[in-house]
Amino acid sequence: MTSNVKAIVKIVATFAALFIFLNVVMIKLNLREAVFRSFLFKEEYKQLTVLIPVGFSILTSYLGYIVARKKGRRKKHWTFICFFLNIWGLIILFFLPSLSGTHRGKAGRC
């Protein structure tokens, strides 16, 4: 495995462990019920529950476009990847190396 792949695997494992830890804390402190009774799940705020994630996806896809352009990667591909993977796509793109002029062939340019 290359050093970039090792770094990506380490970051994904760290975020997965953090996610599991936060879920355990929420279960132990009985915070799940409080979260589900929060203001976002009330009837008048249902539009926000859709707009916030979509807005975040649009923001991360735009940031993915900018980073992909600076690194010489395919802008359209990384825009879609970052739209669906959100912050995970940005993290992966951030740790990928920039492509130099000799490595910009069709095969390895994603």
**pLDDT tens-digit profile of 10-43?**
777 887 888 888 888 877 877 777 766 666 566 6
Whole-angstrom CA distances from 58 to 2, 53, 65, 79 are 31, 9, 11, 9
Distance between CA atoms of 96 and 103, rounded to whole angstroms?
13
The structure tokens 């802008």 sit at 75
Distance between CA atoms of 98 and 96, rounded to whole angstroms?
7
pLDDT at 77: 92
Q: What tens digit of pLDDT does each residue of 34-91 get?
A: 766 666 566 666 666 777 888 888 999 999 999 999 999 999 999 999 899 888 888 8
Burial 12-47 (b: 16+ CB within 10 A, else e): eeeeeeeeeeeeeeeeeeeeeeeeeeeeeeeeeeee
pLDDT at 68: 92
Domain spans in the chain, listed from the N-terminal domain onward: 1-37, 44-110
What is the average per-residue pLDDT within 94-101?
Answer: 81
Q: What is the dihedral of CA 30, 36, 42, 47, to 10 degrees?
A: 150
Q: Band of the pLDDT at 105, cuts 50, 70, 90?
A: low
Global pTM reads 0.58
pLDDT at 10: 78
| 109 vs 31, more confident | 31
The full length of the chain comes to 110
